[in-house]
């Protein structure tokens, strides 16, 4: 049983929008060992891009009043 259609979501991750990943990591139910689906894994470049966007967003949040 899969939670999501793996053809649609199997190699995706969210970082400033849905992105394709070259690697799919299986997600399993610990109690039963059943495979639930797969998630995409981010590359070092993806993480760097996300960190840059987060730093940019933080400046705007810090400047926002209560």
51 phi, psi to nearest 5 deg: -65, -40
Q: Do the beta carbons of residue 38 and residue 26 sit within 8 Å?
A: yes
pLDDT of residue 32: 95
Q: Note whether residue 1 is domain-resident.
A: no
Based on the structure, what is the number of domains in the chain?
1
Q: Note whether residue 56 is domain-resident.
A: yes
Give the residue numbers spanning the domain of 38. Answer: 6-63
Mean pLDDT computed over every residue of the chain: 84
Structure confidence by residue, pLDDT tens digits, 33-60: 998 888 888 889 999 999 999 999 998 8
Q: What is the mean pLDDT of residues 9-33?
A: 85
pLDDT of residue 5: 67
Straight-line distance from the first to the last Cα atom of the chain, in angstroms, rounded to the nearest whole number: 46
pTM: 0.61
The set of residues, in sequence order, having a beta carbon less than 8 Å from that of 13 and lying 6+ positions away, is: 19, 21, 39, 40, 41, 42, 46
């Amino acid at each position: 049983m899969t939670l999501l259609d793996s053809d649609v979501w199997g190699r995706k991750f969210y970082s400033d929008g849905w992105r394709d990943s070259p690697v799919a990591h299986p997600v399993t139910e610990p109690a039963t060992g059943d495979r639930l689906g797969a998630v995409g894994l981010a590359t070092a470049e993806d993480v760097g891009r996300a960190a840059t966007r987060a730093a940019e967003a933080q400046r705007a949040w810090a400047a926002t009043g209560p």
